[in-house]
Amino acid sequence: MGTGSSQGIRTARLDTGEYAENFAELHPALSDNLAAVEADRCFFCYDAPCTIACPTSIDIPMFIRKIAVGNRKGAARTIIDSNILGGMCARVCPVETLCEQACVHIAQGNEAVKIGQLQRYATDSIIDDGAEMFTRPEATGKKIAMVGAGPASLACAHNLACEGHEITIFEARSKPGGLNEYGLAAYKTTSDFAQAEVEFVLAVGGIEIRYDTVLGRDITLAELSENYDAVFIGIGLAETSKLGIEGEDLAGIGDAIDYIAVLRQSDDLSSLPVGDNVVVIGGGMTAIDIAVQSKKLGAENVTIAYRRGPEQMGASKYEQDLALTNGVTIKHWVQPVKAIGDTAVSSLELERTRYDDNGKLVGTGEKLTIPADQLFRAIGQKFSSAPIENAGIEMKWGRISVDESCKTSLANVWAGGDCVAGGEDLTVAAVNDGNVAARSISEFLKTGGAS
Amino acid sequence: MADLKNDFIGIKSPNPFWLASAPPTDKAYNVERAFEAGWGGVVWKTLGEAGPPVVNVNGPRYGAWHDGNRRLMGFNNIELITDRSLEVNLAEITQVKKNWPDRAVVVSIMVPCDERSWKSILPLVEETGADGIELNFGCPHGMSERGMGAAVGQVPEYVGMVAEWCKQHSSLPVIVKLTPNITDIRQPARAAFKGGADAVSLINTINSIIGVDLDAMAPAPHVDGKGSHGGYCGPAVKPIALSMVSEIARDKETYRKPISAIGGIQTWRDAAEFMALGAGNVQVCTAVMTYGFKIVEEMIDGMSRWMDEKGYNTVDDFIGMAVPNVVNWEHLNLNYIAKAKINQETCIKCGRCHIACEDTSHQAITSSLNGEPHYEVRDEDCVGCNLCVNVCPVKDCITLEQMTEGKDPRTGIPISGEYANWTTHPNNPNVK
């Protein structure tokens, strides 16, 4: 390594082949044979624990049985009847903490059935069949506005489009998909799958997306509420949290989600600058995603610094192992104190942490300094209330408050996904919110909601 | 170590594991390899009469039924008897027997059902030095349409008649191979022994169509768009074979007569089961066609260890031991009360026992307790049918346990230690 800052953050650390290899799909598609063998392992449980564990309650034993007998498209139908984004969920769901964690094989000391990979096998077969799979009844004349073209809105829109309603989605960015398109690790969803899936969803017809349209700037909630029969808000979390440490403004310090968004949109991974010594602050999925991808981009050393232990990490054991096997170091029980450097960060001072007698996390006073020429914050996102300021919508825990049917305090406004209180930062949970809201909106429109 | 030596109707072999008359025993090359691998004997693939040999199809001869893991469960074939000339086969048999004097070499024969045909081939076979002959009265496809194989085996009179010719025109021990494609297997078995046969072997393959190709709308696999029924074998037929062997083993007229068992035998345990039901030895085919000859190593080792464990010195010590315990239904003890019991420690909560019982049986298994999945047998509804035991994916998680005291909660009838069967049951119209 060179001296001083002549190295540091730079692009093109690897050759083209290495980038391609590093960012190849984490779990390649199952072959017909492997899918059949894996499907045959399923016990076809009664009252299946996997289905109970799935936020969208996919009839997992049924779709796996269909795969086992060679009815691949029938399997896909079973999946998307519960979860229109079943293809993406198959790729990015933390199955190890959801369906697969509940698989009864585990109770027997065996590996869980690979539900996620089977789900992908099934849904891959219909990704181009969106138009023929769904038919719309006669138009109802009801119009619904949705804000944000992420998983929650897409699921909600698809459900309602299938009932003949007309949906307009207002999206702040220039592409649909939300975090499916701009978040997530690139190696989990390759080949522009997010866009293919959005096309699959839109193929039903009756859903229009207006891009580059920002709530609070180009449109207001009051206007939407006034001009549409119902409104669904699925705007996610737009703000990031700051570390609140000295030196946080130094160059080389940024938000993981911003970097990932750039990475996901990049046609040329070699153009992405990455440091010698990357440090990630955080313990969730995003921390793992940015750490592993930094490593895959050629960073020399990548360290995740997390203030508690492995059990408390938001990232699953599987994700933690994924980081470790990719050469990422995970430092537990440390919190950032100070970013050090002239104009750009060069090292990071950490303090060791522990629980005090009351179970409160405290610094021990012991400090350590690690090299850091690139520092990513991955300590979670916050809801930005600016777009709905003065809308009079009830809030809870800093996010939009909704009831069990995803209805907000406003007469014809629903909300779901990460932007609502209790939002889980999971695609599959957002899809479920969209489903739940759609049922409620549908009921509302039937019983003569405002027009 | 237990002694696996086998003496079957005077034919000696180092172990009771023979290869059945089939493709694996069609020529010297295969048989030599089988003997090298350790097989105790072979029944050479069926010889036909002198002259131009039969011809086989040039498309698929075999079809299979697999489980989801591509494990071969059932196997179907339309291969005929040997398609090599009689002279070549006889010469090879002679040489192989010379090379392997300690192994059993039995020759399967199928010629037209007339005395002249049998009389002419028998001396030729005897000259090879073979240890015995097996009469192929079982082949259900291709040959039966020509009045041979199963066409003979399905008529007990013919079975007896041909056995008699063979005993008359040959000094070799005679085994009659029976077809299962018959209503009562005891009839041809009785006829064979009446005709003087030394033993019967069974089962030959069962008439079968392995599947239908729904694109071609023809049996699968098919030959140029057409298919023909074949003979079914492999693990799937074992229960049928066990039953047929037991019927002959416990029939008054054929009781303790020698049986060479065939039908889905893959392991030492399969073999031991057939032998417990009265078979003097076993013949294997599909298992070696699936895995090769080497499996005999496991069969030899497994059976020896099991015999040591049980204290059996020779195979004769356990042959037929299970026969007295095969009875007709009316002799089963109706006072034997058993209830299923689910081990909550090993239960994985798949719920299969519940749904099987609930949908298709006696509604005797709960599905929840305090809102949580919980599967437990209600003794007052359980008839002890064993369905839950069979559908449970966890071995030994559900067991059927005998009640020895108190009342049967289902019927309210006190548990009695006394044996009572249908023949004396008050509901039996034939009683009194």
Token representation of residue B62: 């075999």
Which chain A residues contact residue B393 at CB under 8 A?
43, 108
pLDDT digits (tens, 9 = 90+) for A250-267: 999 999 999 999 998 998
> What sign does the CA torsion over B183, B186, B187, B193 have?
positive
Cβ atoms of B11 and B131 within 8 Å: the answer is yes
Determine how β-strand B104-109 pairs with β-strand B398-402. Answer: unpaired
* Alpha carbon distance B105, B11 (integer Å): 9
Task: Answer for the pair B336, B384: CB distance below 8 angstroms, yes or no.
Answer: no
**Whether pLDDT at A450 is above 60:** no
| Chain A interface, best mutation among B348, B360, B387, B392, by max A CB count within 10 A | B348
**B166 is known as an active-site residue:** no
In terms of domains, do A228 and A276 share one? no
Position A4 in a domain: no
- Say whether both A107 and A180 belong to one domain: no
How many CB atoms sit inside 10 A of residue A413's CB?
25
Report the domain count for chain A. 3
Confidence (pLDDT) at B73: 96
Phi-psi category of residue A148: left, alpha or beta, with phi > 0 → left and psi -120 to 50 → alpha: left
DSSP state of A408: -
Average pLDDT over residues B68-83: 92
What residues of A are in contact with residue B355 (Cβ under 8 Å)?
46
Residue B369 at interface with chain A, using a CB cutoff of 8 Å? no
Q: Which residue has the higher pLDDT, A419 or B149?
A: A419
Answer yes or no: is pLDDT of A4 > 60: no
**From B113, B139, B285, B357, the catalytic residue:** B139
Residues A45, B69: C-beta atoms closer than 8 Å: no
B333-419 matches B6-325 in CATH topology:
no
Same domain, yes or no: A138 and A158 = yes
On the question of pLDDT at A7 being above 70, the answer is no
The residue type at A84: I
Confidence grade of residue A189 (pLDDT, cut at 50, 70, 90): confident
From the centroid of its chain, how far is CA A279?
22
Confidence band of A275 (pLDDT split at 50, 70, 90): very high
Rounded (10°) CA dihedral B40, B44, B45, B46: -140
- The CATH number assigned to the domain holding A216 equals 3.50.50.60
pLDDT of residue A3 exceeding 60: no
Q: Name the minimum distance, in Å, from the CA of B384 to any CA of chain A.
A: 21
Q: What average pLDDT does the segment A374-380 reach?
A: 94
CA distance B253 to B154: 19
Q: Does pLDDT of A1 surpass 80?
A: no
Domain at A43, CATH number: 1.10.1060.10
Mean pLDDT of A87-100: 94
- What pLDDT, in 10s, does the model give residues A105-160? 999 999 999 999 999 999 999 999 988 899 899 999 999 999 999 999 999 999 99
Give the Cα separation of A214 and A232 in Å (integer): 15
SS (H, E, C) chain B: CCECCEEECCEEECCCEEECCCHHHCCHHHHHHHHHHCCCEEEEEEECCCCCCCCCCCCCCEEEEECCCCCEEEEEECCCCCCCCHHHHHHHHHHHHHHCCCCEEEEEECCCCCHHHHHHHHHHHHHCCCCEEEEECCCCCCCHHHCCCHHHHCCHHHHHHHHHHHHHHCCCCEEEECCCCCCCCHHHHHHHHHCCCCEEEECCCEEECCCEECCCCEECCCECCECCCEEEECHHHHHHHHHHHHHHHHCCCCCCCCEEEECCCCCHHHHHHHHHCCCCEEEECHHHHHHCHHHHHHHHHHHHHHHHHHCCCEHHHCCCCCHHHCCCHHHCCCCCCEEEEECCCCCCCCCHHHHHHHHHCCCCECCEECCEECCCECCCCCCCCCHHHHHCCCCCCEEEEECCCCECCCCCCECCCCCCCHHHCCCCCCCC
- Record: fold of B6-325: TIM Barrel (3.20.20)
Q: How far apart (Å, rounded) are the C-alpha atoms in residues A35 and A40?
A: 8
A109 in contact with chain B, both atoms CB, cutoff 8 A: no
Q: pLDDT tens digits for B261-295?
A: 999 999 999 999 999 999 999 999 999 999 999 99
Task: Tell me if A95 is assigned to some domain.
Answer: yes
Q: Is residue A27 part of a domain?
A: no
Q: For residue range B305-360, what is the model confidence (pLDDT) as tens digits?
A: 999 999 999 999 999 999 999 999 999 999 999 999 999 999 999 999 999 999 99
Query: Which domain, by its residues, includes A91?
Result: 32-126
What's the pLDDT score for residue B147?
A: 77
> Structural domain boundaries of chain B?
6-325, 333-419
In DSSP terms, A339 is beta-bridged to A348
0.85 surpassed by complex ipTM? no
Q: Cα separation of B192 and B202, whole Å?
A: 12
Q: Are strands B17-19 and B41-47 parallel, antiparallel or unpaired?
A: parallel
Could you say which of A359, A377, A395 is where a domain stops? A377
Contact call for residues B37 and B72 (beta carbons, < 8 A): no
Residue B107 CA: distances (Å) to CA of A154, B124, B140, B177? 73, 11, 19, 12
- For the segment B72-97, the average pLDDT, to the nearest whole number, is 96
Q: Which CATH number applies to B333-419? A: 3.30.70.20
Q: What is the pLDDT of residues A210-240, one digit of tens each?
A: 999 999 999 999 999 999 999 999 999 989 9
Q: Is A365 exposed, middle or buried (0-12, 13-18, 19+ CB in 10 A)?
A: exposed
Residue A292 in contact with residue A321, Cβ under 8 Å?
Answer: no
**What residues of chain A, 335 to 354, have a C-beta less than 8 Å from chain B?**
none
In this complex, do A45 and B351 lie within 8 Å of one another by their Cβ atoms? yes
DSSP A56: T
In a domain, A230, yes or no: yes
Q: Are residues A67 and A91 in the same domain?
A: yes
Q: CB-based contact (8 Å) between A107 and chain B?
A: yes
Q: Across-strand partners of B271?
A: none
Distance (Å) of CA B322 to CA A258, B35, B273, B283:
75, 30, 9, 19
Structure tokens that stand for A393 in this block: 């919508």
H-helix or E-strand spanning residue A125: none
Q: What CA–CA distance (Å, rounded) separates A338 from A351?
A: 9
What is the C-alpha to C-alpha distance for residues B263 and B243, in angstroms, rounded to an integer? Answer: 11
Confidence of residue A5 (pLDDT cuts 50, 70, 90): very low
SS3 A120: helix
- Are residues A258 and A372 located together in one domain of the fold? yes
- Residue A38: the pLDDT is 95
What is the overall mean pLDDT for chain B?
95
Give the pLDDT of residue B41: 98
The answer to whether residues A365 and A250 belong to one domain is yes
What six digits make up the tokens of A307?
């203030």
Query: Based on C-alpha coordinates, what's the Rg of chain A?
Result: 23
Cβ count near B324 (within 10 Å): 9
Query: A319 in helix, strand or coil?
Result: helix
Residues 390..429 of B with a Cβ closer than 8 Å to A: which? 393-394
Q: What is the pLDDT of residue A390?
A: 84
From B340, B342, B339, select the one nearest B375 (Cα to Cα).
B342
Given this model, what pLDDT does residue B367 score?
Answer: 95
Residue A252 shares a structural domain with residue A365? yes
Best A34, A50, A108 member to test B by mutation, with max B CBs in 10 Å, is A108
**Continuous segment of H or E residues that includes residue A180:** helix A179-182
The residue from A335, A356, A377 where one domain ends is: A377
Say whether pLDDT at A451 is over 50: no
Domain end call among A353, A377, A401: A377
**Do A153 and A246 reside in the same domain of the chain?**
no
> Which residues in chain A have Cβ-Cβ distances shorter than 8 Å to B354?
46
> What are the tokens at A42?
């399923």
Pairing of strands B230-233, A381-382: unpaired
**A104 closest CB neighbour out of B69, B70, B349:** B349
CA distance B276 to chain A (A): 33
Peptide bond before residue B203 is cis, with ω within 30 degrees of 0 = yes
Q: What are phi and psi of B108, to 5 degrees?
A: -85, 140
**Does residue A158 fall inside a structural domain?**
yes
Cβ pair A336, A305 in contact under 8 A: yes
d(CA A133, CA A120): 18
Q: Is the CB of residue B389 less than 8 Å from the CB of residue B365?
A: no
For residue A104, give the nearest of B69, B348, B355 by CB distance: B348
Three-state secondary-structure class, residue A371: strand
Which residues from chain B sit within 8 angstroms of residue A41, using beta carbons? 68
A110 touches chain B (CB under 8 A): no
Q: Does residue A32 sit at the B interface (CB-CB below 8 Å)?
A: no
A330 in the same domain as A279: yes
Please give the share of chain A, as a percent, with pLDDT higher than 90: 82
Residue A1 lies in a domain: no
Instruction: State whether B349 and A68 contact (CB < 8 Å).
Output: no
A118 and A76: one domain? yes
Among A97-101, A237-241, A291-295, B188-192, the least confident range: A237-241
CA B386 to chain centre: 24
Given pLDDT bands bounded at 50, 70 and 90, which one contains residue A449? Answer: low
Q: Is the pLDDT of residue B39 over 70?
A: yes
Shared-domain flag, residues A307 and A401: no
Coil/strand/helix, residue A422: coil
Interval B132-169: pLDDT, tens: 999 998 777 777 777 777 888 899 999 999 999 999 99
Contact with chain A for residue B352, Cβ under 8 A = yes
The closest alpha carbon to A355, from A339, A372, A375, A332, belongs to A332
CB atoms within 10 A of CB B341: 17
- Tens of pLDDT along A42-85? 999 999 999 999 999 999 999 999 999 999 999 999 999 999 99
User: What is residue B134's predicted lDDT score, i.e. its pLDDT?
Assistant: 98
Q: Are A327 and A393 within one domain?
A: no
The single residue listed with the structure tokens 């979670």 is A380
What is the end-to-end Cα distance of chain A in Å, rounded? 67
Average pLDDT over residues A403-426: 93
B419 close to B335: Cβ distance less than 8 angstroms? yes
pLDDT of residue B144: 74
